[in-house]
């Protein structure tokens, strides 16, 4: 089953997307994969935890 992207937002060199069914099995994953690109990804739970740690 293809992933439905509920949110896609580009800010400069940053891409924010919401994939409720997961990114790994989506049709979008291979299109985003570039061996020469330096990338990182975080799920929302990790982002909110990092924000909590920064506030401490």
Q: What count of Cα atoms within 13 Å lies in the side-chain half-sphere of residue 24?
A: 1
What does the alpha-carbon distance between residue 29 and residue 32 come to, in Å, rounded to a whole number? 5
Check residue 54 and give its pLDDT.
Answer: 94
- For 10-38, how does the pLDDT look when each residue is reduced to its tens digit (9 = 90+)? 999 888 888 887 877 777 778 777 788 78
Checking if the pLDDT of 49 tops 90, the result is yes
Contact between residue 26 and residue 1 where contact means Cβ atoms under 8 Å apart: no
Checking if the pLDDT of 43 tops 80, the result is yes
pTM > 0.85: yes or no: no
Contact between residue 3 and residue 20 where contact means Cβ atoms under 8 Å apart: yes
Contact between residue 33 and residue 19 where contact means Cβ atoms under 8 Å apart: no
| Domain boundaries, given as residue ranges, for the chain | 7-55
């Amino acid at each position: 089953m293809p992933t439905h992207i509920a949110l896609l937002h580009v800010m400069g060199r940053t891409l924010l997307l919401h994939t409720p069914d997961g990114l790994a099995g989506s049709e979008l994953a291979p299109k985003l994969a570039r061996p020469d690109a330096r990338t990182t990804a975080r799920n929302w739970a990790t982002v909110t935890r990092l924000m909590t740690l920064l506030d401490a």
